Structure 1
Amino acid sequence: MEQEELLIKIAGILEKLNIPYAVTGGIAVSVWGRARFTADIDIAVELFPEKLKDLASELLKIDKDVYVDELSMQRALEKKGEFNFIHPASGLKVDFWVLKGTSFDKKEVERKISREFSGTSVSFISPEDLILRKLLWYKMTESDRQLEDIKSVLERQKKLDIKYIKKWAKIHSTNKILGKLLKDVS
């Protein structure tokens, strides 16, 4: 199974179960910025307890030898953390990030953008929210990859809502990093 095929199957499951989601991470960078390799699929989900069993059941139907642990899903839901889906035959991994319910998380899902991906409509994080999410990751990890990803989105997307980005960067205390990046790409 290829990465695109798995993403389309999972997006279909999330749509079928009415679970709000947005593809984020490296795949979203490839959509809004420069194409780059990513070993996994990152999906932000607004998951509720009543959907957990159905989601686990549907994920297990994707292929005969897949890994998804309902207990890990339950913990991720309780702690607003992450759980994984693994497709061993292909080596593909999906990281599901349970949204914490903050006002920014809510905006991230509200502002998602559907894009055609291999002939199927898939919901992606907006380029502005991707930049903000990458700024938060940089703040935690100081990984240069986050900065490279942000620059690529800033360079490729010419109609960004910079006012929105600056507002949230200030709230997240990432405005100094953002200011430097904006200067670098101008």
Structure 2
Amino acid sequence: MTSPTPESFYQQLLHVCNFLERGRTPYMVVGGIAVSIWTAPRATVDLDFVIGLTEEERPSFIKSATEAGIVVFDPKPMSFKKMRLLRMFLQGKETELIMLDFILADDEYKRASLERAIHLPWEGREIKVASPEDIILLKLLSGRGQDRVDIENIVRMRKASLDISYLQRWAESLSLSESLTSFLRQ
């Protein structure tokens, strides 16, 4: 398996966004791509999305994904800390394989974050991307090493424009206030 070229990677991002829009699945791009939009570009090897999908809609989503050429790793959601996600793969050129993580908007916060998705121009069209505040909150929920680095970069580059009251309100609701405060003090 080889890493995708940037062109192929961005084409696959658009392919997945088109798939989600055709199925009228609410979505927003998160993860390394979204971080790169709001800060400096950084390497990433997967595509991450938050999607609005009910349990009842999941079987038809899985079927549609398969029909769109997306390989379903497991039709049941995986749990990771405070998130549930569907892991899938997309075949790129030749031996390229791109991992797709679809984080389920299965709580009040994640559903609200989808409403705040920002429409941005991308390769001649628009895609929906998480706001800097929602990337911070989602990364606080995940809490991995790279997530901490991403939060630091977003705060450093966007602090003056962040909606601090929004961050504090949801951080309190999600029991993340202490973690958020430590990043905002930097």
- 1:144 Cα offset (Å): 2.8
The change in CA–CA distance for 1:170 and 1:58 in structure 2 (over 3 A counts) is closer
- CA–CA separation in structure 2 for the residues paired with 1:128 and 1:173: 16
What residue number does 1:61 align with?
Answer: 68
- CA–CA separation in structure 2 for the residues paired with 1:119 and 1:55: 28
Pairing 1:15–2:37 present: no
What residue number does 1:36 align with?
Answer: 42
What residue number does 1:162 align with?
Answer: 164
What residue number does 2:105 align with?
Answer: 99
Identity of aligned residues (%): 27
- 1:94 Cα offset (Å): 0.7
CA-based RMSD of the aligned residues comes to 2.2
Range 83-92 or range 108-117, more displaced: 83-92
Q: Is the 8 A contact 1:17 1:55 kept in 2?
A: no
Q: Is the 8 A contact 1:25 1:42 kept in 2?
A: yes
- Deviations 1:86-134 (CA, angstroms, capped at 9, x unpaired): 134312111112221x210111111111111222211111111111111
- 1:169 Cα offset (Å): 1.3
Tell me the TM-score normalized by structure 2.
0.81
Range 21-30 or range 43-52, more displaced: 43-52
Q: Higher strand share goes to which structure?
A: 2
Q: Is the 8 A contact 1:22 1:44 kept in 2?
A: yes
- CA–CA separation in structure 2 for the residues paired with 1:59 and 1:11: 15
User: What letter corresponds to residue 136 of structure 1 in structure 2?
Assistant: L
- 1:50 Cα offset (Å): 4.0
User: What letter corresponds to residue 96 of structure 2 in structure 1?
Assistant: S
Structure 2 portions without partners, runs of 5+: none
Q: Is the 8 A contact 1:56 1:68 kept in 2?
A: no
What residue number does 2:152 align with?
Answer: 151
**2:85 pairs with one of 74, 82, 86:** 82
Pairing 1:131–2:131 present: no
Q: Higher helix share goes to which structure?
A: 1
Q: Is the 8 A contact 2:62 2:72 kept in 1?
A: no
Q: Is the 8 A contact 1:34 1:153 kept in 2?
A: no
Tell me the TM-score normalized by structure 1.
0.81
